Amino acid sequence: MEPRTKNILIGTVTVLLAAALIAGAVYFNRPRVVAVVDSESVLAGITTDNLMAHLKELEAIAEANGGNRKAGTAGHAASVDYVEQQLKKAGYTTERQQFSYDSSGRKLVSFEMVGPSANSGSVEVGTDVDLMGAFHPDEVTADVTAVDLNLEGDRQTTSGCEASDFEGFPRGNIALVQRGTCRFDVKMSLAAEAGARAVIVMNQGDAADRRGIFVGDLSEIATVPVLAATFDLGAELAAGGRVALTVDSPGAVVTENLIADLPGLGGRTVVVGAHLDGVGGGPGINDNGSGVAAVLETALQLAAVDAQPTLGVRFAFWSGEEDGLYGSTHYVQQLSEAERRAIEVYLNVDMVGSPNPVARVYAGTGSDHPVWEVMRDHLRAQGVTTSTANFDLSDHKPFMEARIRVSGLYTGADEPSPNGAPGDPCYHQACDNVTNIDPEMLGLMADALAHGVLSVAS
């Protein structure tokens, strides 16, 4: 930290002896040594190495658990274990707050070619075949019947567009139709009427961009599973095949928020949070290992200096953010009116190590807390160009809606940075790993967070 810090409203967290003794008696039943904590010593403890070490752990956890840390999975559970263990080692008492939510939406969980004609080559869900729609969870094992395909020449086709295509269709079989001419809904409805147990729509194969897997939209309810397949898989199935497929309803996700408290002298608190869950498609290191690392390091370094702030500081590691802000919403809903009013500010940290960063401080939210200026000024004093941002795409939204004042930090997702590239080109992708982090920016953001927390809590 450097000289211009003087400009900033806070510098020192000073806790009066008497007050500290009372606090000691209340919270610990023993007198505590008074600690005079200045933000410099806390910020000095927050190093890039420490932050990156947390991210490496989270990446290793994803790697060991199917490549992600999604809510309700082993990867998220292991992430909670890791953060909890770090907090406990630093002396915190932690609380796990369990909740559940319905993640409706169907998934093709397996697709296999079975029977004597099965090709030895494996079919991969997501690459060769995927779900277009399914109203119910389902399990289908049946022979595939090709419906008016045109696999040669120009490959122009009206496959599955006419009721006559399904004349003689063996009820209970899986209909294999080809993309082209009419809407997917038409092919689906005619197939279902003809008694198909499932429908596979193979790509048309008439052009280079019509060979691979594709995303198709159904506007009608899919009463039977409707799948999209590559042209090649369709051609293979057309030769005669039997398929076993499973469509699952992920249904209720049971998961938990992790919470740790640094007690204050009175009843008021600063809540600092980051979502610890990620998307299913990657390790979630910038989104949101970065925010987790910043919040966790703030907690660890405050404990390391034995900080005794005036306001309590509550560190929260939310789950279910990626599915719809479920963890933070649950947290806000379970607060009593008095607890809600006792929150001085909620500070959100989501995506703060973006490789093409734009340093943003949340402001203009309609529920601003003046600490945003303290964080902005701190960043400016470090030579960081900042902008403000007003959006409700993360866990501060339920707080704002409950009229709790908020701020937060953010360095960019898929929207373009001034250099033209997305703030985070690996947003929600498999490449969101430790190499997708700007360590220096992450360090600056973590410092700004700790500085903001201290300025409010002291």
- In angstroms, give the least distance from the CB of 327 to ligand TRP: 12
Sole binder of Zn ion in the list 130, 277, 287, 373 (CB under 5 A): 287
Specify the residue, 46 or 409, whose C-beta has the smaller distance to ligand TRP.
Answer: 409
Which residue bears the tokens 């029977």? 115
Using rule CB under 6 A, residue 349 touches ligand TRP: no
Sole binder of ligand TRP in the list 59, 261, 322, 344 (CB under 6 A): 322
Sole binder of Zn ion in the list 157, 288, 290, 308 (CB under 5 A): 288
Using rule CB under 5 A, residue 138 touches Zn ion: no
Which partner, ligand TRP, Zn ion, none, binds residue 391 by CB below 5 to 8 Å per kind?
A: ligand TRP
Q: Which residues contact 312 (CB under 8 A, 6 or more apart)?
A: 261, 262, 263, 264, 266, 267, 268, 269, 270, 457
- In angstroms, give the least distance from the CB of 280 to ligand TRP: 12
Let me know if 321 is a catalytic residue.
yes
- In angstroms, give the least distance from the CB of 251 to Zn ion: 23
Which residue bears the tokens 């009229």? 403
Chain positions 418 to 457 lying near ligand TRP, rule: CB under 6 A, are: none
Specify the residue, 252 or 393, whose C-beta has the smaller distance to ligand TRP.
Answer: 393
Sole binder of ligand TRP in the list 140, 413, 431, 434 (CB under 6 A): 413
121, two tokens: 């080559």
Sole binder of ligand TRP in the list 157, 286, 394, 407 (CB under 6 A): 394
157, two tokens: 């086709």
Segment near ligand TRP (CB under 6 A), from 79-87, 158-166, 387-395, 444-452? 387-395
Sole binder of Zn ion in the list 236, 256, 350, 395 (CB under 5 A): 350
- In angstroms, give the least distance from the CB of 403 to ligand TRP: 20
Catalytic residue among 59, 256, 297, 321: 321
Sole binder of ligand TRP in the list 221, 391, 403, 440 (CB under 6 A): 391
- In angstroms, give the least distance from the CB of 320 to Zn ion: 11
Using rule CB under 6 A, residue 410 touches ligand TRP: yes
Using rule CB under 5 A, residue 395 touches Zn ion: no
Using rule CB under 5 A, residue 323 touches Zn ion: no
Q: How far is CA 33 from CA 36, 88, 229, 307, 396, in A?
A: 10, 21, 68, 11, 35
Chain positions 351 to 370 lying near ligand TRP, rule: CB under 6 A, are: 351
Chain positions 279 to 298 lying near ligand TRP, rule: CB under 6 A, are: 287-288
CA angle 310/315/321 to nearest 5° reads 145
Specify the residue, 142 or 325, whose C-beta has the smaller distance to Zn ion.
Answer: 325
Sole binder of ligand TRP in the list 350, 368, 432, 438 (CB under 6 A): 350
- Give the footprint of Zn ion on this chain (CB under 5 A): 287-288, 350
| Catalytic annotation, residues | 321
Which residues are near ligand TRP by CB under 6 A?
287-288, 321-322, 350-351, 391, 393-394, 410, 413
